[in-house]
Amino acid sequence: MAMNDNKHKNGSDGSGSPFRNPIIIFIVISVAATLLLNLLLSAMTAQRRTEIKYNEFIKMLDKGEVSEVVITSDRITIYGLPQTEQSEVSTPSVMLFGIDATEALSEASRPIYYTGYIPDDELLGKLNELGVEYSTPVENSSPIVNFLLTWVLPFAFMYLMIMLFMRFMSKRMGGGGIMGIGQSQAKMYNVEDKTGITFADVAGQEEAKESLNEIVDFLHHPAKYTAIGAKQPRGALLVGPPGTGKTLLAKAVAGEANVPFFSLSGSEFVEMFVGVGASRVRDLFKQASSKAPCIIFIDEIDAIGKSRDAQMMSNDEREQTLNQLLSEMDGFDSSKGLVVLAATNRPEILDKALLRPGRFDRRIIVEKPDLKGREDILRVHIKNVKTDSTVDLHEMALATSGAAGADLANMVNEAALRAVRFGRTAVNQEDLMDSVEVIIAGKEKKDRILSPEEKRIVSFHEVGHALATALQKNTQPVQKITIVPRTMGALGYTMQMPDEEEKYLNDRDELLDQITVFLAGRAAEELVFNKMTTGASNDIERATELARRMITMFGMSERFGLVGLESIQNKYLDGRSVANCSEETKTEIDREIIKIMKERYEIAKQLLIDNRDALDEIAEYLIRKETITGDEFMTIFRRVKENREKPEENE
């Protein structure tokens, strides 16, 4: 079956006939199958029946050669006497739908004849007199029923199949499908009459909340604004990295204003069929207008709002959807209290027309939270969890620099799961700090056993990083070093000591020191084992990236000075950058990067050579313990240093 289907499709694709359409193929196949089936059935029955004249039938009756007569409205079927020997017409072996029909068709081995029906008053009397059985079948008697059974029923069946098939197709294509083009169906968007979320559920986004407060007020008292002649913003765009609470904020606006929340995701808009997205937009705005005041929220608006000229291929569907959205944004009556919120993490690719006044002219930045913000977010989420007295959210906030709200929510949940795993009824600080590590570095991989040799290398590598930090900053460099492999690929892992105050500016020397720290892992390997391993690849990547930015974006190289050689393309996602310079300049940039890396590597190596005693001692200790704290690290480091200085003092 499947193979046949394929053949059909291949053949028709090549020729470009109307058979390309799967539905037409399906209909053609069903009609052909019905015809074939009918032909086969009638052929089989015809083979065994012989037509005779009516008077021949009467003659047979008189001769007593008839055992049974079946009378229908258009014919009389005559069964002869059973024959002892096998009839000359050999019964073919017939398989119908996998059932052996041979026996049923052969009907013992009575010869069967038929003749047309002639109204004959004497016939019944004659049959009675001769004692011949006669009957008229209840079913199958009228030609209409016959016709229905052989022709209409199969088609009805096929029609049903086609309907099922189409339903299946439309489901696969999502939404309206083949039949429903332009027809909006139930689940195009979500409507929540009450989101149940308020600004209290969103922490660490004070500026964003402030901007949105005006919208809330407008939804509460639209008259206040219209009375003075002020026009409210029709739309606001929430911009920020993933997981910072954009969706949450939009819901909170609806919750605070106590209005219905219409939401949909931009990617759901864009369909395979041209015109579907546009009709959905139209429908959404119509529905929402009738329920105003309310909020329409379009998540991931970049899926529809992509700039129309910046595309490699034009996408009619998206363009139509976008045009419809633009015209709806202009069209709706904002005095009724309809506000459109949208969220994106790629504002730079949005079409300019979306951003002009009267559309999404307000931009609300939802950044990753700072230290205090993280602590507040943790507090919001820890409310739902039972905790004991050891919990210190400040410490956890310190350790989670760079985490977004969604990460923090996830960490709290991981901690609760861990507490359950250990059979406790409340979450403690250890659960929280462990879950931070799990989110950052992955779970401990107990089944990956490092060989003793590998363990030594990883240990020296990690201590190399830590020592370089300690020597350059002269403070405790790390919170924890471990050489237990993690699921996310790290063989060893150094947890940086969090800065009590967050830094928003870095000077050139700090950045160079950072590169030195990155390279110190490899430097330790080379120094101690005189080997290069693959373990440093991530360090090298990050160091190179940093060096490149210093040159191309921060204006920190003497060679190029203050020229912007690269710019960041998508600030809120991976922060990839694009070059703004000629090929020759790129080559020179690469040379400059190589120079910086070589210099910093030598510096890292020299640092470790000068502190080889500390490196050896701490690394050996780490090999034995597998995990050490920053305090243990500092204790050994200080002791080694003092021992070293004492003899010098004596001299």
Question: How many angstroms separate the Cα of 413 from the Cα of each of 375, 387, 432, 570?
Answer: 15, 12, 9, 30
Q: DSSP for 436-494?
A: HHHHHH--B-TT-PPPHHHHHHHHHHHHHHHHHHHHHH-S--EEEEE-S-BTTS-SSEE
Cβ-closest position to Zn ion: 521
The b/e string for 602-627 (b: 16+ C-beta within 10 A; e otherwise) is: ebbbebbeebeebbebbbebbbeeee
Among 242, 275, 442, 555, interactor with ligand ADP by CB under 6 A = 242
Q: 579 forms bridges with which residues in the sheet?
A: 566
Q: In 3-state terms, what secondary structure has residue 418?
A: helix
Q: In 3-state terms, what secondary structure has residue 624?
A: helix
Q: Which pair of tokens denotes residue 647? A: 């003899």
Q: What are phi and psi of 617, to 5 degrees?
A: -65, -45
The stretch among 60-68, 154-162, 244-252, 462-470 that binds Mg ion (CB under 5 A) is 244-252
406 touches ligand ADP (CB under 6 A): yes
Nearer to Mg ion, 247 or 400 (CB): 247
The contact mask relative to ligand ADP for 314-353 (x = CB under 6 A, - = no) is -----------------------------x----------
Among 380, 484, 540, 634, interactor with ligand ADP by CB under 6 A = 380
Nearer to Zn ion, 371 or 470 (CB): 470
Among 115, 195, 247, 514, interactor with ligand ADP by CB under 6 A = 247
345 touches Mg ion (CB under 5 A): no
Nearer to ligand ADP, 205 or 472 (CB): 205
Please tell me the distance from the alpha carbon of residue 257 to that of residue 215, in angstroms, as a whole number: 8
Nearer to Mg ion, 205 or 387 (CB): 205
Please tell me the distance from the alpha carbon of residue 51 to that of residue 53, in angstroms, as a whole number: 7
Nearer to Zn ion, 199 or 493 (CB): 493
The contact mask relative to ligand ADP for 187-216 (x = CB under 6 A, - = no) is ---------------xxxx-----------
Nearer to Zn ion, 540 or 579 (CB): 540
Q: Which of Mg ion, Zn ion, ligand ADP, none is residue 521 near (CB under 5 to 8 Å by kind)?
A: Zn ion
Q: Which of Mg ion, Zn ion, ligand ADP, none is residue 203 near (CB under 5 to 8 Å by kind)?
A: ligand ADP
Query: What minimum distance in Å lies between the beta carbon of 519 and Zn ion?
Result: 9
Nearer to Mg ion, 239 or 519 (CB): 239
Q: Which of Zn ion, Mg ion, ligand ADP, none is residue 513 near (CB under 5 to 8 Å by kind)?
A: none
Catalytic residue among 462, 526, 566, 592: 462
645 is catalytic: no
Site for Mg ion in 245-284 (CB under 5 A): 247
Cβ-closest position to ligand ADP: 405
521 touches Zn ion (CB under 5 A): yes
Q: Which of ligand ADP, Zn ion, Mg ion, none is residue 222 near (CB under 5 to 8 Å by kind)?
A: none
Helix residue ranges per DSSP H, 553-582: none
Q: Which pair of tokens denotes residue 595? A: 């120079």
Query: What minimum distance in Å lies between the beta carbon of 238 and Mg ion?
Result: 9
Q: Which of Mg ion, Zn ion, ligand ADP, none is residue 581 near (CB under 5 to 8 Å by kind)?
A: none
**The amino acid at 284:** L
Beta strands (DSSP E) in 5-160 are 49-51, 66-71, 75-80, 95-96, 99-100, 112-116, 133-135
Closest C-alpha to 570, from 330, 233, 306, 216: 306
539 touches Zn ion (CB under 5 A): yes
Q: 578 forms bridges with which residues in the sheet?
A: 567
**The amino acid at 506:** N
The b/e string for 451-460 (b: 16+ C-beta within 10 A; e otherwise) is: eeebbbbbbb
Please tell me the distance from the alpha carbon of residue 638 to that of residue 475, in angstroms, as a whole number: 11
246 touches ligand ADP (CB under 6 A): yes
Query: What minimum distance in Å lies between the beta carbon of 342 and ligand ADP?
Result: 11
User: Nearest 10 degrees: CA dihedral of 371, 374, 378, 379?
Assistant: 70
Q: Which pair of tokens denotes residue 462? A: 């990690």
Nearer to Zn ion, 208 or 523 (CB): 523
Site for ligand ADP in 57-86 (CB under 6 A): none
Q: Which of ligand ADP, Mg ion, Zn ion, none is residue 359 near (CB under 5 to 8 Å by kind)?
A: none
For the chain, percent helix, then strand, then coil, each to nearest 5? Answer: 55, 10, 30
Cβ-closest position to Mg ion: 247
244 touches ligand ADP (CB under 6 A): yes
The stretch among 4-12, 79-87, 246-254, 325-333 that binds ligand ADP (CB under 6 A) is 246-254
Q: Which of Zn ion, ligand ADP, Mg ion, none is residue 266 near (CB under 5 to 8 Å by kind)?
A: none
485 touches Zn ion (CB under 5 A): no
Question: How many angstroms separate the Cα of 411 from the Cα of each of 85, 244, 250, 382, 482?
Answer: 89, 14, 23, 10, 20
Closest C-alpha to 342, from 215, 239, 191: 239
Report the sign of the C-alpha dihedral through residues 530, 532, 535, 539, in that order: positive
Query: What minimum distance in Å lies between the beta carbon of 538 and Zn ion?
Result: 7
Q: Which pair of tokens denotes residue 179? A: 């039949």
Query: What minimum distance in Å lies between the beta carbon of 369 and ligand ADP?
Result: 6
Q: Which pair of tokens denotes residue 26? A: 């399906």
The stretch among 229-237, 243-251, 288-296, 474-482 that binds Mg ion (CB under 5 A) is 243-251
| Residues near Mg ion (CB under 5 A) | 247
| Residues near Zn ion (CB under 5 A) | 521, 539
Catalytic residue positions, numbered: 462
| Residues near ligand ADP (CB under 6 A) | 202-205, 242-248, 343, 377, 380, 405-406, 409
